[in-house]
Structure 1
Amino acid sequence: MTVQIVFDARARLGECPLWNVDRQQLFWVDAYNHRVHQFDPATGQDRFFDVGDIVSAIAIVDRDRLLLALRDRLAYLNVESGEVTAFYQFNFPYPNTRCNDGKCDAQGRFWIGTVSETAKQAELYRYDPDGSIRVMETELTISNGLGWSPDRSTFYLTDSAPHKIYAYDFNAETGTIQNRRTLIDLSSEAVEPDGLSIDTQGNIWTALWNGWCVACFDAAGKELDRINLPVQRPTSVTFGGSNLSDLYITSASVGLSQKEIQQGFNAGDLFRLSTNAQGIPSHALSSAIIE
């Protein structure tokens, strides 16, 4: 497996890569620079939209629109016009809280976690086709990478602060989760699991913040591999390309000292890893939600 730098973005906080099958393009965000990027691997060109606020997660709405998770709002972005239309305002129970990683499930429900400055004050929310928001998990600190097993029986959720990835029993019909257990525990290391993606074999690929690598675990939580990267802080991963076998990796430069940036000069860049795995296509927001 070989790692390529596909765009020298120098992002502050690259996050949430999302492969759009219809366009054969990768969307991703630079959260602190308020940018949603659109990368075309066929041309190597990247353009961005300034959405005017911290943007932490995106999801597909339709060919021309994305769902955005901003600091404390949900919004639509039209990628043809650049217009941003906010439609939901969160009222978080704790101060100094903002949206973080998010993703749609196969039923088109949008799951979005938060990050808090105080331990155990973050939560996980579910935005449903009827327009309602439900709290699905509490007492998190940095709600991060999330995903579902290929058979949709298991839900995965990362809390980066305790260095753990949890597994839950998942009911696809009702969208409920229960029986939380620690699947992957990296608390003995300085690395933090961040964004993740699931392949068709049920393996979990996760970026390891401060780990200089991406790790792959099987569905039982056994580590299968670590692939070294030229940056200290990879942030998230997704499968893309015509066969969904290319793993795209975002990274961050935020918080690094000048010495650390010199050691990892490509901090904040966008990477691609050719793998022998195949990803699962990203799910879109339910058409019942879309206004």
Structure 2
Amino acid sequence: MNQSSVQNVLSARARLGESPVWDVENQRLFWVDIYNHRVHLFDPATRHDRYFDVGNVVSAIHKAGSDRLLLALSNSLAFLNLQTGEVTPIHQVEFPHPDTRFNDGKCDSQGRFWIGSISEAPGQAALYRYDPDGSWQVMETGLTISNGLGWSPDESTFYLTDSAQHKIYAYNFEAATGTISDRRVFIDLSDEAVEPDGLAIDSEGNLWSALWNGWCIACFNSTGEEIFRVKMPVQRPTSVAFGGTNLTDLYITSAAIGLSQKDIQQQINAGDLFCLSTNSPGMPSHQFFNSSM
């Protein structure tokens, strides 16, 4: 695969595009522009994109029914009604450090929402779990930029990225209880000037990671060995999600934030939405199950 394989499917010019989630039911992509407070709905068939302004930093989203999304805002979780645009808060968190907000999140097969934080203070971020019954648990501490997460196809392994450490960790995972254990370094990119960001796992167990400042997407096999990198026309790809009819289209969000005017002139597509056709299908995303709220 090479750069010509990557297609620019939406001239979005997002400040910080993130959290792509494929809606299998309606064959569309949800994604966010974090600092512009926007939740986007992109239809690949028509190339039409519309958005909701949710009035707050929005870092992660997930389906929570046919017409509703679960949102991670700056320090709270909320539901977004896709028919009315109404945002309904459901859970608020007081972080231990003031310069902290929610970051990347994803649902597991049991409908539990895993969401990490990002902190200006090293080691002050954490990973949390919000369950369908409304309970809240701290799952990991000592992080700085809790980022891309996912599960192996057999659900025996959980992956968590700490971008500031340039590492992706692996844990043993118990699907029934939602517990993680035995953390180890799965991928170490500390010898490069790149930061692993959002990730997705395909049906063969390969891990696809967006490399912030790396101009590429990297693919690793289930043992952590790098298979290849796909060049991007932008410096800061942020996250990836499999979509399309056969889940073989890898959608890629990107960012323009922090780039100089000269940088932006050299990469005018920074902040756009991209798509890469792959040989390995991904796995359908899970929904947040709490339908009573």
TM-score, normalising length: structure 1: 0.99
Aligned residues of 1:123 and 1:139 also touching (Cα < 8 A): yes
> Structure 1, residues 85-136: CA drift from partner, whole Å, max 9, x if none?
1111111122111000000000000000000001000000000122111000
Q: Secondary structure at the match of 1:76?
A: strand
Q: Counterparts of 1:24-39 in structure 2 under 5 Å?
A: 24-39=27-42
Q: Which amino acid aligns with 2:275?
A: R
Equivalence for 2:62 = 59
Q: Which of 72, 88, 98 is equivalent to 2:75? A: 72
How big is the shift at 1:258? 0.9
> What amino acid does structure 1 have at the position aligned with 2:277?
S
Q: How many residues align?
A: 290
How far apart, in 2, do the equivalents of 1:129 and 1:191 lie? 35
Say if 1:61 and 1:290, in contact at 8 Å, map to a contact too.
no
The SS at the match of 1:227 is strand
Q: Report what 2:87 is aligned to.
A: 84
User: SS in structure 2 opposite 1:262?
Assistant: helix
Compare 256-265 and 26-35 and name the one that shifted more.
Answer: 256-265
Residue aligning to 1:228: 231
Q: Show the counterpart of 1:167.
A: 170
| SS of structure 2 residue aligned to 1:62 | coil
Amino acid at match of 2:140: E
What is the CA–CA distance in structure 1 between the aligned matches of 2:62 and 2:69, rounded to whole Å?
A: 6
Instruction: Give 5+ residue unaligned stretches, structure 2.
Output: none
Residue of structure 1 in register with 2:191 after alignment: 188
Q: Of the candidates 190, 208, 214, which is equivalent to residue 205 of structure 1?
A: 208
Greater than 4 Å deviation, 4+ residue runs: none
Q: Distance in 1 between matches of 2:218 and 2:89?
A: 36
Q: 8 Å contact 1:11–1:268 — kept in the other structure? A: yes
> How far off is 1:38 after superposition?
0.2
1:14 to 5, 17, 35: 17
Q: Are 2:91 and 1:97 aligned?
A: no
CA distance in 1, matches of 2:263, 2:171: 37
Q: Secondary structure at the match of 1:36?
A: strand
Asked if 2 retains the 8 angstrom alpha-carbon contact of 1:153 and 1:170, the reply is: yes
Amino acid of the structure 2 residue aligned with 1:277 = S
Tell me, yes or no, if structure 1 residue 150 matches structure 2 residue 153: yes
Identical positions, percent? 69
Letter in 2 for 1:216: C
Gaps of 5+ in 1: none
Using the alignment, how far apart are the partners of 1:264 and 1:192 within structure 2? 19
1:181 is displaced (CA, Å) by 0.3
- How far did 1:290 drift? 3.9
Please provide the CA RMSD for this pair: 0.7
- SS of the equivalent of 2:265 reads helix
Query: For 1:28 and 1:3, how far apart are their aligned partners in 2?
Result: 18
1:217 paired to 2:220? yes
Asked if structure 2 preserves the Cα contact closer than 8 Å seen for 1:194 and 1:208, the reply is: yes
